Amino acid sequence: MIIRNQLHIVFYGAALAISVTVLLFTILQKRTDRPQNKWFMAMLVIVIMNSMSATGCAIIEPQLAERLDLFKLLLNFQNSYFFVHTALAPSLFNYVQSVTGKARRKSTIRKIIDNIPFILIEIFAVLNPLYNNIFYYDSNLVFHRAWGEYLLYAIAGMYFAFSIGELLFSWRAITFRRRIALTYFFMLALAGILAQLFFIDIKAELFAEALAMMGAMLAVESEDDRVDPDTNIYNRRAMQMDVQNALVMREKLPLIYVKILNAHIIERITRSANDDVMAVACADYLKTLVPRYHIYHPNTETFVLMCNGIYASQISQISNQIKERFESEWFISGASFYLDAAVIEAVVPDDIGTDDDAFYVADSIIPEGVGKNKAELAWIMRRAEIERTIRNCVLNNSFEVYYQPTFDLKNFKLYGAEALVRMTDKSIGYVSPEEFIPITEQIGLVDEIDDFVIHEVCKFIQSGVPQFRGIKSINVNLSVIQCMRPGFFEHIMSIVDSYNLDHSMLNFEITESVGAEDYATLSEVIHKIKQEGFSFYMDDYGTGYSNMDGIFSLEFDVIKIDKSILWNAEKESRGRVILKNSINMIHDLGCKVLVEGVETEEQVAMLNDYGVDFLQGYYFSQPIPKDRFVEFIGAEKS
């Protein structure tokens, strides 16, 4: 018996050492504030107390034959063991619910109901000294199990089964690492429990539970990969995991985005590019509003508060407090200044349908004049939808090319057309080019759209239909960014020559929007392309995009005067002076003139008096799909 008890003491001592080590490590890591942290530490304390009680029993039992005075202490140790150990399975159940996020979605009443069996068996354990319903010692001082111990195992088994069920139900909401760790936790603990249940002399239960706790600590409780070390709040990875959890579990999760719009001021005022000082200051303030574990820092300028639980009802109040704080001065690194912040409220999944949406809001740059809160969110989500649509259209080649005819004013006959890209999506409908083209340029997909349009126009020209119907050429818009990329000339030539086209049938339009230092590069590209028989048009003359240097430096064949100049010429005499002299100047430079936005017969007459070469506008036709354009040019020819 002495050898057996010594072996038991070794197991209990090991369980105690492991549990104490894990508890100390958890405390030193300062990860003790979340509900799941508290349940984890509760389980550790249970194992520690049980290890101490079990060790006391193992030490005293061999001495009972000679020292009966220790019997009462032995009973105290045994009763303490069962009273404390009874709480382990319910604590495990609550811990799993905290890890999966189920606990915060439960009402208080539901939580009380879930813990009623636990309360009852605790009362049962307290009454054991009176009724010996869990264990007893016979007249020979030999330990025996009573029927109540099997009831304790049954209740514990129920909580264990509920924990497994909760884990399986939330399986997709948990990361792979946590799945493996919790599965290991369950299997190891279960093996120890079953071994001790069926073989009472194998005291493996506490040791197995301690090992399982260590495994949970390493893979679940340790959050080094989730926490930003400077601010001690959650990082981008943690935000992704927790938003995904809410989406999978269909939880309504209120979010508050705090986007610092002038973060660059830190470098200018403090003479340091270290943004961490701002992040620490902002994080420290936000911690006064909500606990640390509700705050995320997905990028340098953005903080996100997840206002679940009791904070969900306070979201407007918290938002207003944040707005008021950012109206006051900040004192950072010995300097005082104001930080401009956009505070945006959103709800998962009502406003935020995916984790990509959550990060899109966090990463978006909000332009001035968009509005506040809901207007900002609507603008961001609209942009996100358009960006997704653009990417899908690029992937599936589902853009559409429309054609707007141009007319020769000398004989008032159809001359050519401008190819214009259009985008329509089943979910968001038609999106105007003014809305999606700038986004396309910003996300770096404008080259793909330009190539799509060129291919479609080349196919159309190759069919022979435009030439047969009297079309002299078709214009394709190019981005200046694309024109200036290395290899652009070879790229364009490879596309056009793959269709064996007459180069004069294809014109290129660009909006002159480069700096003076780039004229040499762009001029060289235009010159090489013109040598191959193509013509170049300058688009949007008269807007903020054009300047005189561009006209003088670049070999344009046709200058397209923007519709705004034409419409202003109708309103006042100064506008007519600008229009007339612009036309004369362009002609003197050896270029032809095309005027956009022609809508009335009076405009046609005025432009005819001013000697314009070509006209384009709704007076003749709006941009129309290829099939309708073919019908239009057929009618014009007849």
The whole-model pTM stands at 0.71
Cα distance between residue 510 and residue 534, in whole Å? 13
CB within 8 Å of 192: residues ≥ 6 apart:
204, 205, 206, 207, 208, 209
CB within 8 Å of 62: residues ≥ 6 apart:
1, 2, 5
Residue 110, Cβ density class (10 Å: 0-12 exposed, 13-18 middle, ≥19 buried): exposed
545: helix, strand or coil: coil
Predicted pLDDT of residue 274 = 57
- What is the distance, to the nearest Å, from the Cα of residue 392 to the centroid of all Cα atoms in its chain? 18
- Token digits of residue 588: 């003197």
For the stretch 83-120, pLDDT in tens is 988 888 899 889 888 888 888 778 889 888 988 999 99
Cα distance between residue 323 and residue 373, in whole Å? 11
- Could you count the other beta carbons within 10 Å of the beta carbon of residue 308? 19
Output the DSSP codes for 290-317.
Answer: S-GGGEEEEETTEEEEE--GGGGGGHHH
Pairing of strands 400-408, 302-306: unpaired
First-to-last alpha carbon distance for the chain, in angstroms, is 114
CB within 8 Å of 176: residues ≥ 6 apart:
none
24-29: list long-range contacts, CB under 8 Å, 24+ apart. Answer: 25/217, 26/217, 26/221, 29/222
Predicted pLDDT of residue 560 = 93
Q: Is 49 left (phi over 0), alpha (psi -120 to 50) or beta?
A: alpha
523: helix, strand or coil: helix
Residue pair 81/53 in contact (Cβ under 8 Å)? The answer is yes
Give span(s): CATH 3.20.20.450, the chain.
399-559+620-637
Say yes or no: domain 236-384 is CATH 3.30.70.270: yes
Residue 292 phi/psi, 5° resolution? -50, -40
pLDDT along the chain (638 residues), means of 10: 61 83 85 87 89 84 77 88 88 87 82 90 88 84 84 87 79 71 76 70 71 74 80 91 86 92 70 70 93 92 89 89 92 82 91 90 76 76 90 92 94 92 90 90 89 95 91 91 85 93 92 61 87 91 65 83 92 91 92 95 94 95 95 76
- Amino acid, single-letter form, for residue 265: I
Give span(s): CATH 1.20.1070.10, the chain.
2-221
Q: Which helix (H) or strand (E) holds 391?
A: helix 374-396
CA distances from 200 to 4, 206, 598 (A): 12, 13, 97
The architecture (CATH level 2) of 2-221 comes to Up-down Bundle (1.20)
Pairing of strands 592-595, 295-299: unpaired
Predicted pLDDT of residue 269 = 62
Which residues are bridge partners to 256 per DSSP?
305, 345
Which residues are bridge partners to 331 per DSSP?
336
349 cis-preceded (ω within 30 degrees of 0): yes
Helices (H) and strands (E) in the chain, counts: 27, 18
CA angle in degrees (0–180, nearest 5) for 404-409-414: 40
Give span(s): CATH 3.30.70.270, the chain.
236-384
Identify the CATH number of the domain defined by range 399-559+620-637.
Answer: 3.20.20.450
- Amino acid, single-letter form, for residue 49: M
For the stretch 516-563, pLDDT in tens is 456 778 888 888 999 999 999 988 887 755 556 666 678 899 999 999
